[in-house]
Amino acid sequence: MDPTASPHGIRVLVVDDHAVLREGICMLLGQHADLQVVGEARNGVEALDQVAALAPDVVLMDITMPQMDGLEATRQIKAHHPQVRVLVLTQHENKEYVLPLLQAGAAGYVLKKAGGNELVQAIRAVATEGAFLHPSVARAVMNQASQRVNGQPHLTEREKEVLILVAEGLSSREIATKLCLSEKTILAHRTNIMEKLNIHNRAELVRYAIREGLVKP
């Protein structure tokens, strides 16, 4: 069923831990007759409750939130409410964030730096067509696909750097400190590395690093 055919239009749940941003988004969407904000949530836990209670068509989802982040919330929403479309709204445009969210079932990815018209278009697109990607995000996804040569996974230089430090026994927090990055970014790199290499634990990562000559046994 096309949600735009409903007398109330597209039902939207806004999920972000910043109250001012939520209020601004609600005001923006309220200016469009085909969009209806049915609820708000401050984190992933609240989002799950609201989805179950309100049955929105689209969940506008932030990534970095307390209690449960947007990635895990997206996974759980798609597992229990597969008909709901999740549109990620975030400041992060690098593939370390994009790909795990798309793999978790997100239907679209729009940046907070985008204009109001683009956000409205993105909501309409995921509700009616099932997908939307901001152009810079689409390029990141395409670059990731092009990095696979002859079926072999390609690690970026940053991913190799993280892999070496993991193999040397450093924790995610220690790696984050050493590389001047956030711990969440390091965890995202590790997840991406393991998905690319089809590796499921630290021991396998160490064996891979040794086999490839990245570290000494």
- 138 and 183 in one domain? no
CATH number assigned to the domain comprising residue 174: 1.10.10.10
Q: Which of 142, 169, 190 represents a domain boundary (last residue)?
A: 142
User: Per-residue DSSP letters for 138-161?
Assistant: HHHHHHHHHT-BTTB----HHHHH
- 190 and 165 in one domain? yes
Mean of the pLDDT values across residues 136-152? Answer: 58
DSSP at 5 = G
Q: Which of 34, 89, 201 is nearest to 98 (CA)?
A: 89
For residue 126, being part of any structural domain is answered with: yes
pLDDT by residue (tens digit) across 102-127?
Answer: 888 999 888 888 889 999 999 999 99
Distance, in Å, from the CA atom of 147 to the CA atom of 139, rounded to the nearest integer, reads 12
Checking if the pLDDT of 53 tops 50, the result is: yes
Distance, in Å, from the CA atom of 213 to the CA atom of 215, rounded to the nearest integer, reads 5
**Burial degree of 62 (CB within 10 A; 0-12, 13-18, 19+):** buried
For residue 50, being part of any structural domain is answered with: yes
Structural domain total, the chain = 2
**Burial degree of 77 (CB within 10 A; 0-12, 13-18, 19+):** buried
Q: What is the pLDDT of residue 1?
A: 46
Q: How far is CA 66 from the centre of its chain?
A: 15
Q: Which of 142, 167, 185 represents a domain boundary (last residue)?
A: 142
- 118 and 63 in one domain? yes
Distance, in Å, from the CA atom of 193 to the CA atom of 154, rounded to the nearest integer, reads 9
pLDDT by residue (tens digit) across 1-25?
Answer: 455 445 568 999 999 999 999 999 9
Distance, in Å, from the CA atom of 205 to the CA atom of 175, rounded to the nearest integer, reads 15
- 161 and 138 in one domain? no
Q: Which of 62, 42, 64, 38 is nearest to 51 (CA)?
A: 38
Q: Could you tell me the pLDDT band of residue 83, with boundaries at 50, 70 and 90?
A: very high
Distances from the Cα of 210 to the Cαs of 157, 183, 193, in angstroms? Answer: 17, 24, 15
Q: What is the pLDDT of residue 100?
A: 83
For residue 169, being part of any structural domain is answered with: yes
Instruction: State which residues form the domain around 8.
Output: 3-142
Q: Which of 142, 175, 190 represents a domain boundary (last residue)?
A: 142
- 99 and 26 in one domain? yes
Q: What is the pTM of this model?
A: 0.64
Mean of the pLDDT values across residues 36-57? Answer: 97
- Helical residues (DSSP H) of the chain, grouped into ranges: 19-29, 44-54, 70-80, 95-104, 116-128, 135-146, 157-167, 172-179, 183-197, 202-211
Q: How far is CA 94 from the centre of its chain?
A: 10
- 105 and 19 in one domain? yes
- 168 and 138 in one domain? no
Distance, in Å, from the CA atom of 31 to the CA atom of 152, rounded to the nearest integer, reads 49
- 207 and 119 in one domain? no
Share above pLDDT 90 across residues of the chain, in percent, rounded to a whole number:
54
